[in-house]
Amino acid sequence: MSETNMVPVGIVCSPFKERGDAPRQGRLSDELSKITIFPEYLDALLGLSEGADIFILCWFDRSDRSVLQSHLGGDETRPIRGVFASRSPNRPNPISLTLARLVKIEGNKLTVKGLEALDRTPVLDIKPYSEQFDTPIKE
């Protein structure tokens, strides 16, 4: 199998210091976070504007990568699901996906709303939300 190689393009500065501090999904909180984009990726921000809806993909560095199944929401009264059928942060490749609002751009610092990543979480990628393509496929 070919090697999969990723490098972080930035890092999160967040009010959520520990897992218990963070909401299950970022939109359940009004807190703002900052993403510092590393200088070598600054050119990749061209075309992003304040107010945009963006997907943020992070590497959840404090996850347990051995987990394949877990109770939904970590609640033992709820059914067990495979991690590919859940949003559990614990999974073989702990890549998180969050639709957030880009509130402010100041050079290489992005202020975002709706991100539940812990402080110092590595950022893998940012992509714009598309009203045309990011909806369920109709039969």
Ligand X SMILES: C[S@@+](CC[C@H](N)C(=O)[O-])C[C@H]1O[C@@H](n2cnc3c(N)ncnc32)[C@H](O)[C@@H]1O
Q: What are phi and psi of 40, to 5 degrees?
A: -70, -10
Closest CB 118 distance from ligand X, rounded Å? 4
The smaller minimum CB distance to ligand X, of residues 87 and 113, is found at 87
**Residues found near ligand X in the complex (CB under 6 A):** 19, 22-25, 60-63, 87, 89, 96-98, 116-118, 121
How near is the Cβ of 139 to ligand X at its closest, in Å?
26
Q: Give CA–CA dist 77/75, Å, rounded.
A: 5
Tell me how far, at minimum, the Cβ of 46 lies from ligand X, in Å.
Answer: 26
Nearer to ligand X, 104 or 120 (CB): 120
